[in-house]
Structure 1
Amino acid sequence: MLVYRITQTKFANSLVAPGFAGRWNSEGEGMIYTGGSASLSCLEVLAHKSGAALNSGKFSMAVISFDDSLLVEEIKLEKLQKLNKEWFKVLHYPITQKLGNEWLFNQNSAVLKVPSAIVDREYNYLLNPQHPDFSKIKVLDVKPFDFDTRLKMDV
């Protein structure tokens, strides 16, 4: 399977989790966020960075691969909606962070499939660098990525 990650170019070739808090992890819990498509990865970055941040850095897109035989755990949309109909709002990060932190801790899989909060019916794939199977996840290709100025480049 292929997943995609857009990040600062200096980090694009390495699969390192910075440990910054995000939708699916608390501060200090290392997790790598990837998208199920290149376009979803682009939208995710646009949703979380200002135009100034997009203008200030050099970005690259990494194509990351893992074998289909690798176990992928999944958090279903239905589960999230039962916990809170508005699970996707930033206000409700504690709900998704708890689930993501539990996944990291339980070490059941190196990959977690989660619904996108931006695009219905699309998925992000979270990678756990501490899992024993993480070594089976590889960066296949890295290319420079420029955000189209029509998207969100206002400073």
Structure 2
Amino acid sequence: MQVFRIALAKYAGALVASGRAARWNPNEVDVIYAAGSRSLACLENVVHRNQIGLNNAFQVMTIEIPDDITVLTIELKKLPSDWVEFENMPLTQEMGESWILEGKSAVLKVPSSIIPAEYNYLINPKHPDFKLIKLLKSESFVFDKRIKL
């Protein structure tokens, strides 16, 4: 399976986590976020960067997750209806941290908070199977100037 991550060009040469808090991880818990499509990766960046800095040099990373790696899934139907609200982020962060601590898989498939019918993929860089996940390529990515919030 191929997944996609859009990152600043200076960070696009390797699969590394920032350690910063996000939807599915608290601060200092390393998780690499990727999306099921380039378009979802684009949309996630536009929303989370709030269009600030989208003129910087970015690259889209194509990541290969081997089919024989276990991918656990958090089903949308198992989340509360208001899980996307900012004040409920501690709930999803706790779920992501539990997944990291349990170490049952290198990849966790989670619904996108922007388009819940589409999925993001969390990659645990400390899991033993992480070494099987490969960065296939990084290519220049330019955000279309017509994209507005």
* TM category, shorter: over 0.9
Corresponding position of 2:85: 89
Greater CA deviation, 46-55 or 60-69? 46-55
Q: CA deviation at 1:18?
A: 0.9
Q: What SS does the corresponding residue of 1:53 show, helix, strand or coil?
A: coil
Structure number with higher helix proportion? 1
Unpaired segments of 5 or more residues in structure 1? Answer: none
* 8 Å Cα contact 2:76/2:116 also seen in 1: no
Unpaired segments of 5 or more residues in structure 2? Answer: none
Corresponding position of 1:118: 114
Q: CA deviation at 1:90?
A: 1.5
Q: Separation in 1 of the partners of 2:5 and 2:18?
A: 14
Q: Structure 1: which 4+ aligned runs deviate by more than 6 Å?
A: none
Corresponding position of 2:96: 100
Q: What SS does the corresponding residue of 1:150 show, helix, strand or coil?
A: coil
Q: Separation in 2 of the partners of 1:136 and 1:152?
A: 37
* TM-score, scaled relative to structure 1: 0.93
Percent identity, please.
46
Corresponding position of 1:44: 44
Q: CA deviation at 1:51?
A: 2.3
Q: Separation in 1 of the partners of 2:116 and 2:108?
A: 17
Q: Separation in 1 of the partners of 2:3 and 2:24?
A: 17
Q: Separation in 2 of the partners of 1:150 and 1:98?
A: 36
